[in-house]
Amino acid sequence: MKRILAVDDSASMRQMVSFTLKKSGYDVTEAKDGQEALNIAQSAQFDVIISDVNMPVMDGITLVKNLRALPQFKFTPILMLTTESGTDKKSEGKAAGATGWIVKPFNPEQLLAVIKKVAR
């Protein structure tokens, strides 16, 4: 079973992402900000990480940088959830090492389509 770490400060988004992925057979772990995600990730392995960009405590960009510095996440697909359609955040995320992004708002089908792209 593929393991996914879903990071978002919004409980409703987290639940939606988690529910959708679990229903499709993924093993999902949730975290509510970058710091919590990083703490969890220190001692675990995930096949895909999905993270919001704007979060308190530690934002998504910082999280990606930190994750890429961990040996087990050097090559792991990391997707950013972003509402910013402006290219700045995307390129910032890319520069930090993100694999790609999902633009909010998205529906469960769109989410799954993107996840399938990276979790094979």
Least separation in angstroms between residue 114's CB and other proteins is 6
Shortest separation between residue 36's beta carbon and other proteins, angstroms: 6
User: CB 51 → other proteins: shortest distance, Å?
Assistant: 12
Binding site for other proteins (CB under 8 A): 9-13, 15-16, 19-20, 23-24, 29, 32-33, 35-36, 39-40, 42-45, 52, 54-57, 68, 71-72, 74-78, 81, 83, 85-86, 91, 94-95, 97-110, 112-114, 117-118, 120
Is the Cβ–Cβ distance between 77 and 49 less than 8 Å? Answer: yes
